Structure 1
Amino acid sequence: MRADTPSSTALRAGMARARHQVLDQGRVFNDPLALRILGRETAERVMTEPENRVARALRAPLAARSRIAEDTIHEAVARGATQLVVLGAGLDTFAYRSPYPAPALRMFEVDHPATQAWKRGLLAEAGIAVPPALRYVPVDFETGDFMAGLRAAGFDPLQPAVFTWLGVTVYLTKDVVMATLRALREAGAPGSAVVFDYVSEPGRWQWHRRGVLALLKRRFARMGEPWRFFAREEALARELLAMGYRRVEDLRPNQILERLFAGHEADVPKRRSGAEFGGVMRLSM
C-alpha cells in the first residue's frame, strides 16, 4: 500500500464482515458495528450491490477467522490476560463493543498511520465512541518498531496479553512475519496468547488451488498490495516451537469451516471455496 493512503484490503475485509451480518445474519460472527463503521455510502453498497466471485469466496473464511480471534480473546481474559493488542487492526470493532470495562482489559490497536487515521474518521462519522481503555499505535510493519510503539503507549510486558493478527501476514515477507512473531514471544508474559491467520503454500499437485491463488495474487498486486508470504504449516509450527512458544494449534480451513458452519447446507459452497485459502494458528506462551 502507498504510505499516504489507507489499506484497500482493510476496507474489503470490513465489507466482508458486514456482508456476513446482512447475508448470513451474523450466525458465525456477530458484529453489530460492522455495517456502521463503513460509513453511509459503503454500507449502502453492502446492502444493495451483488457480491463478486472473490468477495463471495472470502466472506465465510473472514467471518470464521474473526470468530476464532474473538473466542481466543475471551479465553485469554478468562485465564488472566489484562491486555489486548490488535495488530493490523483495520476496521476491527472489538475494542468499541468490548464487554470488559477498563481497567480489566487495556487495548491497543496497531496499524499503518494512514489506515488508522481513516478509521478514526469513520468512527467519528458513525458516532462510535472510542473507549478510554484503547490506545492507538501507528506503525508500518515493514519499517517500524511496533514493540517500541506499544511500550510508549503503555503496554506492560510483565502482564499477560492476547495478540490478534488477522489479514496481514500474506502481505509481508517471511522475514518480517517471523521477526514479528519472535518479538511477540519475547514481549509476551507467561499466560499470553497469539492468534494469526495465514495463506498456505499450495502442494505440488494442487493444480486447482495453484490456479486460484495465481488469480488472487494478480488481483491484489493490481491493487498495490501483493501477496508475499505463503506458509508451509508443519515447518512454520516447528519454527514457532523453536522460538519458545509453549503450544501451537493449527486450525486448517476445512476444519474451521466445517466446525463453524456445520448444519447450514446453504454454506457448502462457502466451505468449498474457503478450503482454497489458509488457516489460523493459536499460540500459547
Structure 2
Amino acid sequence: MQKPTSFTASNETNAKRKGSSKMAELIALHRVAESRKPEGERICYDPYAVYFVDPETLAFAASNPEKTKEMSEYYERLFPGLGNSIRARVRYFDDFVKNSIDEGIRQLVILGAGYDTRAHRIEGLKEKVRVFEVDHPDTHNVKIKKVKEIFGSLPDHVTYVPVDFETDNFGERLIAQGYDRSLKTLFLLEGLVMYIPPEAVDETLSFIVRNSGKGSFILFDYYPESVVDGSCELEVGKNIHNYLVQTGEPLKFGIKEGMVETFLIERGFSRIQNVTAEEYKKMYFHGINKDRKVSSILFFAHAVIE
C-alpha cells in the first residue's frame, strides 16, 4: 500500500488491464470501513463487503493503525469529501431500492454490479424481485466464487450476466438470460457511466427506454464533463482525473453541469431528479456526522420511463 508516485502521466499498460476491477474492491473497502462504525454513526451498512476485500489489505490495516490513518488522511487531502460521497451513494441507492420495492418493481438490473451485495442484504428482494447483475466476466468470476463461499451456493433470485460494455451488446445478453421487457424494473448504474465511452452510455440508455415496463426507473451517479476531460478548475477534479488515468481505470463519460435534465429528456426519460452533494449531505450527515465533508463533484440522478 504505497502512495501513488505520479498523478499526471498516462499509464498505457494499466489502461489495458485484465482481471477483476480494482475499483470494485476499493468501493467494497469503503463499505467495510463505514459498516464498522457504531450503528448510530454509520451512513451505510454492508455485512458482506468484507469478503470482497483482499485479506492482506485488511490485515495490514488491523496491524498498522497509524499507517492506515496516515494514508486515509493523505487520500482525504487529495480527494476531499469523495470517500463520504461514495458512502452516501451506497446509502442513497439502498434507500432507492427499498422504496422501489414498495412501489412494485419486479426486476432489478444492476449494471456494472462489481461487488454489489444488495441482492443479499435488502429485505424484500429475494421474495419479490428478480435480480440481474451485469458486469465484466473477470469481475463476475470473482464475485460468483465469493458468493458461493459466503452462502454455500448461488441464490435462486439472482442471474449473473457477463458483459464487456465496450464490446458486447448488453441488451441482447440480458434478454437471453431471461429479462422480461414488460415488467416494471429498476436499473442501477452505480459507479458505472463515468467508466464507459459516451456511445456505450447512449446505447445503454436507449435499451433501457425501449425495453422497460411502464413506470420503470433508472438511478445512476456521474461526474461533470470537466472532471472527465481534465479541464475542471477544482484541484479535486484534476486529482481524480489524473489518478484514475494513472491507475488504469480512466474516466470516459461525464455530463455538463446543469445539463442532466436536458441530457435525459433528449434520451426519452421523464420525472428527472438531480441530487447534489449539498442535498445528500443534508439527508445523511447530521448529528455526530455533521462535520464530515462530501465532494461537490459527485452527483446522483434518477428518472422514469413512462
- Confirm or deny a common fold (TM above 0.5): yes
Matched, 1:124 2:148: yes
> Are 2:260 and 2:274, in contact at CA under 8 Å, matched by a contact in 1?
no
Within 5 Å, give how 1:225-240 maps onto structure 2: 225-240=249-264
* Alpha-carbon shift at residue 235 of structure 1 (Å): 2.4
Alignment match, 2:206? 182
Q: In the superposition, relative to structure 1, how do residues 7 and 24 fare at CA in structure 2: closer, same or farther (>3 Å)?
A: farther
Give 2:75's match in structure 1, choosing from 50, 54, 57: 54
What is the RMSD of the two structures over their aligned residues, measured on CA atoms? Answer: 2.4
- For 1:147, the equivalent position in structure 2 comes to 171
Pairing 1:279–2:293 present = no
Residues 137 and 150, structure 1, Cα contact 8 Å, conserved in 2: yes
Aligned partner (choices 40, 44, 47) of residue 32 of structure 1: 47
Superposed CA offset, 1:148-168 (max 9, x none): 111111110101111110111
1:3 Cα deviation after fit: 6.1
> Which structure is larger by alpha-carbon Rg, 1 or 2?
2
Q: Do 1:3 and 1:114's aligned partners in 2 also have CA atoms closer than 8 Å?
A: no
Could you report, residue by residue, the CA deviation over 1:61-107 in whole angstroms, capped at 9, with x for unpaired residues?
A: 11111111121112222111110111111111111223226452100
The answer to whether 1:191 aligns with 2:215 is yes
Residue number in structure 2 paired with 1:224: 248
Task: Give the equivalent residue in structure 2 for 1:268.
Answer: 291
> Does 2:187 align with 1:172?
no
Residue 123 of structure 1 deviates from its aligned partner by 2.7
Deviation at 1:175, TM superposition (A): 2.3
Runs of 4+ in 1 over 6 A off after TM superposition: none
Counterpart of 1:14, as a letter, is A
**Aligned pair count?**
278
| Contact 1:19/1:46, CA 8 A, preserved across alignment | no
Q: TM-score, normalised by structure 1?
A: 0.88
Does the CA contact (< 8 Å) of 1:86 and 1:108 recur in 2? yes
Match of 1:244 in 2: 268
Conservation of the 8 A alpha-carbon contact between 1:107 and 1:133: yes
Contact 2:109 2:133 in 1 (8 A): yes
Asked if 1 retains the 8 angstrom alpha-carbon contact of 2:25 and 2:52, the reply is no
Contact 2:226 2:232 in 1 (8 A): no
**2: CA distance, partners of 1:101 / 1:168:** 22
Other structure's SS at 1:162 match: strand
Q: Distance in 1 between matches of 2:166 and 2:60?
A: 32
1:212-241 CA-to-partner distances (Å, cap 9, x unmatched) read 221221111111111122211432311211
**Is the deviation greater in 254-263 or in 26-35?**
26-35
Distance 1:132 1:112 in 2: 21
Q: Which residue of 19, 31, 44 maps to 1:17?
A: 31
SS in 2 for 1:281: strand
Q: Name whichever of 54-63 and 115-124 sits farther off.
A: 54-63
Q: Percent identity?
A: 27
Could you tell me which amino acid in structure 2 is paired with residue 219 of structure 1? Y
Deviation of residue 182 (structure 1)? 2.0
Q: In 2, are the aligned partners of 1:29 and 1:67 still within 8 Å (CA)?
A: yes
Contact 1:37–1:123 under 8 Å retained in 2:
no
Which letter maps to 1:54?
A: Y
The answer as to 2:105 corresponding to 1:81 is yes
Q: Quick check: 1:6 aligned with 2:16? A: no
Q: Is the 8 A contact 2:129 2:157 kept in 1?
A: yes
Instruction: Tell me, in whole angstroms, the C-alpha distance in 1 between the residues paired with 2:73 and 2:142.
Output: 25
Residue ranges of structure 1 left out of the alignment (5+ in a row) = none
Match of residue 137, structure 1, among 161, 170, 176: 161
Amino acid at match of 1:165: L
